[in-house]
Amino acid sequence: MTSDSTVKTNIFRLIDEAWDNLRLHLVTTRFQEDARFRATYIYPEVACREALVNAIAHRDYSEEGRGIEIYVFDDRIEIKNPGGLLSSVSVADITSLRGVHQSRNSYVARALREIGVMRELGEGMRRIFELMKNNELAPPEITTDASSFALVLHHRPMYNKDEALWLEQYEGLQLSSDEKAVILMGRRGDLISPNEIIRTIGIVDTENYRQIVHSLQTKGIFETALPKMKAKQLSQRKGVGVRDIPRFKVRPAKDAAHRREPSQGRQPSHKIYKATPERIVESKEKGLYIGNIPPNTSERDIIMAFKEYDQPATVIIPKTGALSRGFAFVEFDDVATEQKAVGADIILGGRKLIVRWKNPRRLTPEAKE
């Protein structure tokens, strides 16, 4: 141990003073490309500060004589809190990055939000995980018992030796961390389904999925091994969504440089579908919001509920634990099908579903094509 310091003050000053003590141990001096020595953070600065704020906001203040303990090692940072997780939240809920939360200290959290230190409840941990991932560092480790909660930030690459060797061949293609995660899924030659990509990366907006796939196809890395029409036929036979059918194959880097997906050189133009009394524009925000679904609704339940319209391409059901949060997002292959389903009288589990546009983008009848 090189140093040991204790910070004691009111909760508002505690964050800044504790951070000033902590940040000294998070910086290293390195020789940069401009031939100068510069101080750089070993860990993402925002992730470390977010972890500190999270600890102060959610610790158990009823345990007198105990405080937040922060240990800085050569390869990791450990932040330990008095008080375990509340009964309604599990480690799996946190690591799934669904934003699940329950505040132990509601007044503390409210005060920290009002002064701009905290943002939305449940977003802190998600932000920490995303920052570590974006810096290609190993995901945070969470441990808990009845009396304590610990968050560990590791200073090691997020990829193991085999994965790093596989990614080296694509080094010149300037892949994002999400793109690297996708191609690692197919490094053994397995076909990848769209929903596997969505779940692995934690995508909520399917436009992000389209951007990643388009980028990988443009770079020649992704090959469509199963045409979409065949995938749709197969999904109908199996009773699953089209995007649950494995379709994509990852090409080795030596082949990627010489091949491109057909028509992937530019983004597709938007299509306009005529409707009465107004026209609906197919945009990046297409898709349906499905409300009033039962708590135990599954993706298959949603698919069967909409079977008379078409096979949904994507079904996303936000959940708290094992139960739905009362709504879902559904996307079909074309906006014309979605238009037919909007406002339809659809019953699921004895409930009439609310079916509306997820993000309406409408043009007035006078708008020009």
Parallel, antiparallel, or unpaired: how do β-strands 222-224 and 248-250 relate?
Answer: antiparallel
Highest-confidence range of 94-98, 225-229, 309-313, by mean pLDDT?
A: 225-229
Task: Say which CATH number the domain at 345 has.
Answer: 3.30.70.330
Bridge partners of 72, per DSSP, are 77
pLDDT tens for residues 300-351?
889 889 988 887 888 888 887 778 888 988 888 888 888 889 988 999 988 8
At residue 69 the predicted structure's pLDDT band, cuts being 50, 70 and 90, is very high
How confident is the model at residue 143, as a pLDDT?
92
Q: Where are the alpha helices (DSSP H) in the chain?
A: 11-23, 45-58, 91-95, 106-114, 123-134, 161-168, 177-185, 194-201, 206-218, 228-238, 253-256, 299-305, 335-341
Do 244 and 297 share a domain, yes or no?
no
- 359 in a structural domain: yes
One domain for residues 212 and 322 = no
- Tokens 């500190």 belong to 52
265 falls within a domain: no
Each residue's pLDDT tens digit, 75-91: 899 999 999 888 778 88
What's the token pair of residue 26?
Answer: 């998070």
DSSP 36-71: -EEEEESS-HHHHHHHHHHHHHHS-TTSTT---EEE
Query: Which of the listed residues 154, 186, 214 is the one where a domain comes to its end?
Result: 154
Do residue 62 and residue 141 come from a single domain? yes
**The domain containing residue 174 runs over which residues?**
161-256
- 2 occurs within a structural domain: no
Residue 267 located in a structural domain: no
0.75 exceeded by pTM: no
Q: Given 194, 222, 256, which residue is the final one in a domain?
A: 256
One domain for residues 143 and 166: no
Same domain, 92 and 23: yes
Mean per-residue pLDDT over the chain, rounded: 80
Structural domains of the chain, count: 3
